[in-house]
Amino acid sequence: MRPPFNNLAGLSMMLAAVCALLNGQPASGASIWRGATDGLWSESTNWSTVTAPTITTGSAYITNSPSKTVLLDGSTPASNLWVSGLNVWAPPNTTNTLRLADLGTGRALVVSNATLTVTTGGAIDITNASLMVIGRFINFNMWGGRVTLEQGSIISREEPLTTNVTVITRIGRTNEAILTINGGSMDVSQLLVGESPVLSFGVRGVSSGSTAAAWMCGPS
């Protein structure tokens, strides 16, 4: 059995390293997934840039057909764990899934500089891994689709921490979106469900035709 994922020991040191790296590192262009089947995030031939995404290759897009799962695991080089932005969705009747699994202690997929967007047909599954959206004036937007945390963490906040909230997590902005936490933890500066602010999980909100749900389903 794998030991429980524990990201607390290494993530604070990694955050400092990320912020130092981002200084003076503007993003350009975009990394667009071209693979037509399941594949590894780190495999360069799956991307339009002929290199796996980095902080300097622009936002990453997993948006093409047909349905597929992109795996980001412990074999992914550290340089490919830091991206400018991330976008996951799919054409009608298809599903694109980004699966984060067994990244290792103190390692995370870090989105900075631009927004993380999940919408209809998009899914992110997290198991023994961490997803971080950090910086200033960026958002974690679930216009639709789903995000499932099985074990590990999701962090969406300013870095370094501040009382001036500029990083917002939104669930269900225009379509049905579902965030499920079966294990692990989520740390956000501000959470809006159905565009309505809430104080806890397990709340369903409806606004302007959108439907959102955030469920915490850990062990009883």
Q: What is the pLDDT of residues 135-148, one digit of tens each?
A: 988 999 999 999 99
Q: Whole-model pTM? A: 0.80
What is the model's pLDDT at position 140?
A: 96
Q: Are 130 and 164 in contact (CB under 8 A)?
A: no
What is the model's pLDDT at position 219?
A: 55
Beta-strand pair 139-142/168-171: parallel
What is the model's pLDDT at position 164?
A: 86
What is the model's pLDDT at position 143?
A: 93
What is the model's pLDDT at position 211?
A: 57
Which residue carries 């997993």 as its tokens?
62
* Spatial distance between the Cα atoms of 193 and 140, rounded to a whole number of angstroms: 12
- Could you say which residues of the chain have pLDDT below 70? 1-28, 195-220
What is the model's pLDDT at position 174?
A: 77
What is the model's pLDDT at position 22?
A: 40
Query: Identity (one letter) of the amino acid at 179?
Result: L
Average pLDDT, rounded, for the chain: 82
What 3-state DSSP class applies to 26?
Answer: coil
